[in-house]
Amino acid sequence: MKKEWSRLWMKSVQPRKQRKYRYNAPLHARHKFLSANLSPELRRRFGKRSMPVRKGDEIEVMRGSSKGLRGTVNKVDLMGSKIYVEEIKIKKVDGSEVMKPLQPSNLRIVKLSLDDKMRQRVLERAEEKPKKDKKTEKKEEKKPKKKEEKKKEVKKDKKRETKRKEKK
């Protein structure tokens, strides 16, 4: 394996190469690893499913012992791939309290910090091309079918099955 990092390694199926990709990735690539899902309201508003977590974002914990807790991001550790939230703390053995490190995959962004101009541009681009959620799209498309349409579908299915049997 090559020693230098390459973005092409992500295509590998081998776990060792995927691990190496993550461990040796530069900071600008690690930033994307720290993405969390957006809340349904933010998804509808911005037309994006997830965003990289940044300092100042308000998040909600979805998994783990801190499930359901909310808070604002105080620190983002790119090297350790962890996120630290002010309101979520753990007690150490000596009695002092420290912020609990959280994985971004276990979080949901509830409120975005829009202080950064680059982040605003990304969201504006996403708003230009609004995407619908698959779930909401399916609900809108579901309409009661007429009996004639159902009969046609059944006939097509039967024809397909007979063709498959003939091939065997």
CATH number at residue 110: 2.30.30.30
Q: Contact, 126 vs 48, CB < 8 A?
A: yes
Segment 18-65, tens digit of pLDDT: 888 888 889 888 988 999 999 999 999 999 999 999 999 999 999 999
Please report the DSSP string for 104-121 in residue order.
Answer: GGGEEEEE-----HHHHH
Is the domain of 84 the same as that of 53?
yes
Segment 61-111, tens digit of pLDDT: 999 999 999 999 999 999 999 999 999 999 999 999 999 999 999 999 999
Is the domain of 5 the same as that of 79?
no
Q: Contact, 14 vs 22, CB < 8 A?
A: no
In a domain, 8, yes or no: yes
The strand pair at 70-77 and 82-91 is best described as antiparallel
Is the domain of 84 the same as that of 126?
yes
The letter for the amino acid at 38 is L
In a domain, 79, yes or no: yes
Q: Count the domains in the chain.
A: 2
Residue range of the domain that includes 126 = 35-137
Residue pointed to by tokens 């911005």: 46
> In terms of C-beta density within 10 A (0-12 exposed, 13-18 middle, 19 or more buried), how is residue 86 classed?
exposed
In a domain, 155, yes or no: no
